[in-house]
Structure 1
């Protein structure tokens, strides 16, 4: 059976350097680091890693209406802006988003960590739900990014939200590849999003997998160095436009990369074996 060839025709990003792919590439090629010391984390008892790469503050009101923002945590905002940039980069028109042949696959480990914290700070002390807005659930749900992206941008194709910890966005890209190859979608907006939060870094801290290089934040993220000491968590979103080669050629779009295949490695049981009980 013949299968569709899959190419990449657009890209978008919100990163610890700021908004947009051009700024991200500029900083990467310059060898810049966005890791910084999180002074506000010093008050968290037991947290040893005080470094992260958060997205710089920006006013989301300038980019998204309140009707869209009220159900978005930070990570959903990042995903929506990155997806919008990728759509523009690939010159995808609104009627293509609404036609059912463009889907979305965006992975994340959980919903908004900040939204979880805010919810349980209100709920747990007295177990009271009064004062918690209904929109908080949509920030917390595991598929918050993909749901909000589709609602905000009017995408009516297939919607997927793979959750597989650090490989969530990679699986989202693989899923997009499969959907296009099988002919279920012509275009899939793929990638991932996350936000920097003390609880996220804290998980790696508990696993003894976080970097404790607090005295030199910019030197904290060094995965290929002999004296590396752990993970540095960050925030942002990266989105790729995957498209069938036939669709791209029909639109007269040049592609950046052709995807030839994918593979997934089952790692269940590896982490528990390394955790000291």
Structure 2
């Protein structure tokens, strides 16, 4: 089995489009949640909160032809991929078009505005808004396909569309493609655009925060007084590379990806199961040939929903004990759905390199129903750790766990 290095990182989110900006937001304990007044017309929806990227524009050097097939979700993904390839020193490198590089990326759905255009056709027989690129923008694999086309990647394309494990499955399946010898390089991660339709989906489940007059006070992962999640948007992309391939070209290595575990609950669409959550973590540890005490920090899924927070933390505590530091960056960005697994993996790597781990915002009173863990709050935590775990748990009972190991000098 081959070893897998992380040689490039990139993303776009409510806190910025580079790690320096995002780190500044984390250290300032500033969240990106705002009141979405443009949603006021949706009178049946209770929440008005979103983790929006204010004033996002795609890079100026992109051509109109390149943009035609990209809705907002694909723009985020391609932008993050461009940043990650540049970071890896592979932007424009012929290896990307050689067949040795593939793409593994996902989102919950495609661009919702294009879905609305098809709905207009279906409901009212009005096709004026549809064109040759409409389906390409709405299809569930729009992120993976657009990355592959934009950069000319001729290796395998793995589309992942598994709600909030889309990004982490994208990374995990890319890791397996390199580990097992099918590819040398993979562009991988996830993306999501903010949509009132996705907010409404959670609103119907009574799972959204309704603190519409206090956007900075929500979401509140693991907190006794949480009232639900907030939907966000963004994209995260990692460049994974076979270790010897990376070393031969003198690449900078951010970290080594050493473990991936994924499984399913097989019980209920929206009711998470502690046993299989723990099982996914154990699969990642087994894959990495590590014992639980090797992990120094867990990046929690932390959606700020009662069932999710309780099941996740009890599963984590049962495996690692009360000594494990844990926090959730969804308290800063909201729940970025298909992007969260990739963004949180990136943040985990950077925080491990920096030796500082961001706290969970708004965690004032730990829910006594949650598992016993070392919840990172306040000013954050200075820690030197050699391995971090990043976990995600999605609707449909899909569970993922990724383990990254510190790279000397990384």
Aligned to 1:29: 27
Instruction: Describe the superposition over 1:47-97 as per-residue Cα deviations: whole angstroms up to 9, x where unpaired.
Output: 001100112223326142111111110010010010000001011142011
**Cα 1:63–1:217, aligned 2, differ >3 Å: closer, same or farther?**
farther
Task: Please say if residues 117 and 129 of structure 2, whose CA atoms lie closer than 8 Å, have aligned partners that are also in contact.
Answer: no
* Residue pairs, 1:91-240, within 5 angstroms: 91-92=89-90, 93-121=92-120, 123-240=121-238
Q: CA deviation at 1:271?
A: 3.3
Per the alignment, residue 390 of structure 2 pairs with none
1:265 to 243, 263, 278: 263
Q: Distance in 2 between matches of 1:108 and 1:184?
A: 23
Identify the structure with the greater strand proportion. Answer: 2
Distance in structure 2 (CA, Å) of the matches to 1:117 and 1:16:
25
Tell me by how many angstroms 1:13 deviates: 0.6
Aligned residue pair count: 272
Matches within 5 A, 1:63-102: 63-92=61-90, 93-102=92-101
TM-score, normalised with respect to structure 2: 0.63
Corresponding position: 1:46 with 2:47: no
SS of the equivalent of 2:227 reads: coil
Structure 1 105/205 Cα, relative in aligned 2: closer, same or farther at 3 Å? Answer: same
Alpha-carbon distance in structure 2 between the residues aligned to 1:204 and 1:267: 20
Distance in structure 2 (CA, Å) of the matches to 1:143 and 1:80: 13
Change (3 A) 1:181 1:231: same
Q: Distance in 2 between matches of 1:6 and 1:131?
A: 44
Kindly indicate whether the alpha-carbon contact (under 8 Å) linking 2:10 and 2:236 is maintained by their aligned counterparts in 1.
yes
Cα distance in 2 for partners of 1:205, 1:155 equals 39
CA distance in 1, matches of 2:81, 2:200: 29
Separation in 2, partners of 1:189, 1:273: 32
In 1: Cα distance, 2:10 partner to 2:59 partner:
19
Aligned to 1:10: 8
TM-score under structure 1 normalisation? 0.93
Which region of structure 1 is more displaced relative to structure 2, 91-100 or 15-24? 15-24
State the alpha-carbon separation in 2 of the partners of residues 101 and 62 from structure 1: 29
- For residues 91-111 of structure 1, give each alpha carbon's deviation from its aligned partner in whole angstroms, at most 9, with x where no partner exists: 114201101111111111111
For the residues of structure 2 that align with 1:187 and 1:114, how far apart are their CA atoms? 33
Q: Distance in 2 between matches of 1:44 and 1:131?
A: 22
CA distance in 2, matches of 1:237, 1:77: 9
C-alpha displacement at 1:129, in angstroms? Answer: 2.4
Q: Matched residues in 2 for 1:207 and 1:226: separation?
A: 19
Contact 2:117 2:127 in 1 (8 A): no
**Secondary structure in 2 matching 1:255:** coil
| Cα distance change of structure 1 residues 117 and 236 upon mapping to structure 2, 3 Å threshold | same
Structure 1 160/142 Cα, relative in aligned 2: closer, same or farther at 3 Å? same
Q: Is the Cα–Cα contact under 8 Å of residues 180 and 243 in structure 1 kept in the other structure?
A: yes
